[in-house]
């Protein structure tokens, strides 16, 4: 499990963002249009720019060639929506249904809008834990994400400099930004409040909280400030993390390479299981995790932490990084 990151600094009044031609309501409406177009299996009525960039699970493609516009049958309003008015960007996440499936999937995405036209769409669909190696629950996602959209009205709002510093520190442990974690900070992976039972089922029964360890996944080329919603205190940062998928009991888990102690413990667990004659153990494999880390910060504390991640082959790079 990765589940570890968190913030502190002085509170301040949010600095005013430059006025843009697409208001917060306009951005919300465009996100709604995207989801409705998926439901109707028709991407061609969207307000696309003359030239746009788009990926689905890290693969570049025209919207008309993407799986989402072929399979989605139900996409309700986003359970989480963060709007960055300065850059015209939005991040959203929700549970969706594809075809006649009874099981839900998790959709998370980032868009950019210029002159009320969509110039970028970065879309991810996670259908099972195997897509990311973390905890997974689209069924619990709406309830868990509800608190993000209803912060206390009397909160101390962070200023833009604080939120941008938080983004810079997310995947750079050397960045000088002090982090304090609220006692009730909510930590989730792909919609679920994480409970780590351990590979032998004798681990914790208590949900993991947020954390900000000195040793954490690092990407010096991380994409900063993909979403900085000063109203909600939400910041989104994109990174590429190398790691391994390990057997984890009867399932599997993703462990970043920088977490050497965790990988060594899993290597030892695997060695013991093989000596005991256990069968059906997944062979460890190198992978790349493309992630958008979502944090919520107000009252000079980290209030929420989401790890949204999609796995690809080893040594991959994001097409969003030039």
Q: What local confidence, expressed as pLDDT, does residue 66 receive? A: 98
Give pLDDT, residue 100.
Answer: 87
The residues of the chain scoring below 70 in pLDDT are 1-20
The answer to the question of residue 4 being in a domain is no
CATH code for position 146: 3.10.450.50
- What pLDDT, on a 0 to 100 scale, did the predictor assign at position 118? 98
pLDDT at 6: 31
For residue 280, which of 252, 303, 322, 311 has the smallest C-alpha distance? 252
Domain membership of residue 230 (yes or no) is yes
Q: Is residue 176 situated within a structural domain?
A: yes
DSSP conformation class of 5? -
In a domain, 248, yes or no: yes
pLDDT at 20: 53
Residue 319 in any domain: the answer is: no
The reply to whether 132 falls in a domain is yes
In a domain, 321, yes or no: no
Q: How many domains does the chain have?
A: 1
Are the beta carbons of 261 and 281 closer than 8 angstroms? no
Cα angle value 268/270/272 (rounded, 5°): 70
Domain membership of residue 131 (yes or no) is yes
- Can you give the pTM of this predicted structure? 0.91
Q: Which residues contact 140 (CB under 8 A, 6 or more apart)?
A: 191, 192, 193
Domain extent, residue 65, equals: 24-312
Q: CB-based contacts of 35: which residues, under 8 Å, 6+ apart?
A: 75, 76, 77, 78, 94
Q: What is the pLDDT of residues 193-211, one digit of tens each?
A: 998 889 998 888 889 999 9
**What pLDDT digit, counting tens, does each position of 34-63 carry?**
999 999 999 999 999 999 999 999 999 999
The pLDDT assigned to 308 comes to 97
């Amino acid at each position: 499990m990765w589940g570890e990151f968190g913030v502190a600094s002085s509170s301040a009044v949010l600095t005013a963002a430059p006025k843009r031609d697409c208001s917060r309501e306009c951005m919300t409406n465009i996100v709604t249009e995207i989801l409705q177009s998926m439901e109707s299996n028709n991407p061609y009525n969207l307000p696309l720019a003359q030239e746009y960039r788009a990926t689905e699970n890290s693969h570049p493609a025209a919207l008309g060639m993407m799986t989402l516009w072929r399979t989605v049958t139900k996409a309700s309003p986003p359970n989480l929506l963060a709007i960055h008015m300065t850059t015209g960007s939005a991040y959203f996440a929700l549970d969706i249904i594809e075809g006649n499936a009874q099981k839900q999937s998790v959709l998370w995405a980032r868009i950019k809008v210029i002159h009320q036209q969509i110039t970028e769409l970065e879309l991810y669909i996670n259908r099972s834990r195997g897509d990311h190696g973390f905890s997974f629950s689209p069924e619990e996602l709406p309830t868990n994400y509800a608190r993000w959209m209803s912060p206390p009205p009397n909160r101390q709002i962070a200023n833009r400099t604080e939120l941008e510093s938080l983004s810079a520190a997310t995947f750079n442990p050397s960045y000088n930004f002090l982090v304090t974690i609220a006692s009730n900070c909510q930590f989730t992976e792909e919609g679920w409040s994480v409970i780590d039972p351990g590979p032998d089922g004798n681990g914790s029964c208590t949900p993991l909280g947020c954390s900000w360890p000195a040793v954490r996944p690092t990407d010096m080329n991380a994409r900063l400030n993909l979403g900085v919603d000063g109203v909600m205190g939400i910041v989104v940062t994109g990174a590429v993390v190398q790691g391994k998928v390990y057997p984890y009991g009867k399932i599997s888990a993703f462990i970043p390479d920088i977490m050497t102690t965790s990988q060594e413990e899993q290597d030892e667990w695997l060695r013991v299981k093989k000596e005991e004659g256990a069968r059906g153990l997944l062979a460890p494999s190198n992978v790349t995790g493309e992630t958008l880390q979502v944090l919520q910060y107000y009252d000079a504390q980290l209030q929420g932490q989401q790890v949204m991640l999609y796995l690809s082959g080893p040594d991959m790079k994001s097409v969003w990084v030039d």
